[in-house]
Amino acid sequence: MAIRFFKRQTTVNSHQIIPDFAWQRNYHDRIIRNDDELNRIHEYIIHNPQMWKCDRNNQGLWL
């Protein structure tokens, strides 16, 4: 119930900023098995926003 409320409120607020807002349909959970994998994921998260301009799936929605 709490997740449904959070998701609904997030959707309503997001539509005020980005009228075409939509939730990502699919995602992948992953178990982090060792420090090397954790470090690679950490680096990806840190550097990923710099790549948004080059992302073919980015439709110009990111500020």
Residue 57 has pLDDT above 90, yes or no: no
Q: How many CB atoms lie within 10 A of CB 21?
A: 14
Distance between CA atoms of 20 and 59, rounded to whole angstroms? 11
Please give the C-alpha separations between residue 52 and each of 7, 16, 31, 35, 49, in angstroms, as whole numbers: 24, 22, 25, 26, 5
Higher pLDDT among residues 26 and 6, named by residue: 6
Is the pLDDT score of 62 beyond 70? no
Amino acid type, 13: N
Kindly tell me if the per-residue pLDDT of 36 is higher than 90: yes
pLDDT exceeds 80 at position 15? yes
- Domain coordinates in residue numbering, the chain: 2-54
